[in-house]
A and B are shown apart, each in its own frame.
Chain A
Amino acid sequence: MSLLEVTNLGISFGGLRAVDEFNLSIEQGELYGLIGPNGAGKTTVFNMLTGIYKPTDGMIYLDGKNVTGKKTADINKAGVARTFQNIRLFGDQSVLDNVKIGLHNSFEYGTATGIFRLPKYFATEKEMDKKALEILSVFGLDSSADILASNLPYGKQRELEIARALATNPKLLLLDEPAAGMNPNETRDLMNTIALIRKEFGVTILLIEHDMKLVSGICEKLTVLNFGRVLAQGKTSDVLNDPEVIKAYLGE
């Protein structure tokens, strides 16, 4: 059974059919790419997968469970985490706290325990710190743990967003243009990091990206969206050589 199974997904904004008859199936452990021209509907697909938009049609199954139209928070609890095209960090909090917020649902203690600082508070906080630092170290961010998130350079902010998403212990990680605004070297580092987290955290990854080096370098499979519809789907090398895709997206 696939980890993610999407059938006939569609959404309209007023008269605009942004996504239509979208089908997608991702196996456990895959690294999957979603590409397509600007305004094709890629981010919109992410928004539907994470419950930010309610799809007008279609079904989304995660691990066999129907999550269509569920609340964003519940979808996260079911195992989907994401990053955003326009970075959305908790800017006024430290790097460490950003990750600890991601850990929120994995470590429990009640509000009263926190207010009255019962022993459980100290124990849990300590564990959370440890775990958070562990995740941060994957990105080399552990040394910046107590900097305000908004003071990080742009590229580091993107990585912190990934770290925060990973902290929620997802089965499926959605990355929206993780390499935007990075130079080729930084992009290469990012590729390594993505490969590493797949291995270490055992997550399945679906990513949107316009940087073809990254896409062809790490994605095993691709879906190409064009005007809200699937243009091509399949193994990366096949898709990238598809003349339709070249015409609509890659150019040359």
Chain B
Amino acid sequence: MGFLTYLINGLSLGSVYAIIALGYTMVYGIAKMLNFAHGDVIMIGAYVVFMCMANSGMPAVLSIVISIVCCTALGMIIEKIAYKPLRKATNLAVLITAIGVSYFLQNMALMLFGSNPVSFTSVIKWQGISLAGGALKITGNAIITIITCVVIMIVLMWFVKNTKPGQAMRAVSEDKEAAILMGINVNATISLTFAIGSGLAAIAGALLCSSYPSLTPYTGSMPGIKAFTAAVFGGIGSIPGALIGGLLLGIIEILAKAYISSQLADAIVFAVLIIVLLVKPTGILGKQIKEKV
């Protein structure tokens, strides 16, 4: 029973990582940049939900919708000001700018919302289910997060594969200049990617803080790094990979804490990551493109 409990805890932690990782992978897969500010957009999204719900008494769903709108706009603004001018520069330059944006968002939130943590009210009222006569509890948060995650993954996969903008995204991710020659508006496509990624961040923020209810301006940064790790774990750029990577990361983290050492859990998670990548150098679902010579 203990093991099952841990497994479920791991799944629910993992699903939070996964939902963040989906946003990471989306942006990385298309724009080929590590958007280190993604975690901080999540934090902003969570604050927006918090303001709407706790301060203005709006219903959860409306709050999330408002948050999605805000984050989408924020994502597009960031993209336009900080990343777009560097489109033709090396990826590393954009990475560093993203770090600058991350600092900016954190400190901006510090100004706006203060440094004191706020306690986030879960957007999910459902208490969850009890199995085996109450010995095994799965919280509503966990169930809804996992379901949301899977739904988002399926929608994203469908979108990328079957819609025009999705097609454009794939072309842009392969070769920006050639994409122009196909008549694809590369800038608009990348903006759209950011918009989607940031919209996802709003949902991720609400779910993250519902499960782990303390919100500060720095709430997003650590899950951001973890989710980035998860995305790489699953094969960066791969949408189902992000889901699998996130879930696995969560499960490994919890099991390491439970059965090996809670002090060394972080080290163990990273060690497993390293081992997996050594066996599968492009992550679990990453496709290995062998260079044609």
Is chain B in direct contact with chain A in the complex (CB below 8 A)? yes
Size of B's binding interface in residues, CB under 8 A: 1
User: In the complex the two chains form, what is the Cα distance from A43 to B293 in whole Å?
Assistant: 8
Contact-size category for A: under 10
Contacts of B293 in A (CB 8 A): 43, 47, 52, 84
Interface of chain B: mostly helix, strand, loop or mixed: loop
Interface string of A69-92 (1 = CB under 8 A from B): 000000000000000100000000
Min CB distance, B288 to chain A, in Å? Answer: 14
User: In the complex the two chains form, what is the Cα distance from A62 to B293 in whole Å?
Assistant: 22
Contacts of A84 in B (CB 8 A): 293
8 A Cβ contacts from B243-293 to A: 293
Min CB distance, B178 to chain A, in Å? Answer: 15
Contacts of A43 in B (CB 8 A): 293
Contacts of A52 in B (CB 8 A): 293
Min CB distance, B194 to chain A, in Å? Answer: 31
Interface string of B44-71 (1 = CB under 8 A from A): 0000000000000000000000000000
Min CB distance, B115 to chain A, in Å? Answer: 46
User: In the complex the two chains form, what is the Cα distance from A195 to B293 in whole Å?
Assistant: 26
Contacts of A47 in B (CB 8 A): 293
User: In the complex the two chains form, what is the Cα distance from A52 to B293 in whole Å?
Assistant: 8
User: In the complex the two chains form, what is the Cα distance from A180 to B293 in whole Å?
Assistant: 16
Residue of B nearest to A84 (CB): B293
User: In the complex the two chains form, what is the Cα distance from A47 to B293 in whole Å?
Assistant: 7
8 A Cβ contacts from B90-111 to A: none
Min CB distance, A211 to chain B, in Å? Answer: 21
Residue of A nearest to B291 (CB): A52
Min CB distance, B89 to chain A, in Å? Answer: 16
User: In the complex the two chains form, what is the Cα distance from A84 to B293 in whole Å?
Assistant: 7
Interface string of A37-52 (1 = CB under 8 A from B): 0000001000100001
Min CB distance, B204 to chain A, in Å? Answer: 38
Residue of B nearest to A47 (CB): B293
8 A Cβ contacts from A184-240 to B: none
* 4 A-B residue pairs with CB within 8 Å: A43-B293, A47-B293, A52-B293, A84-B293
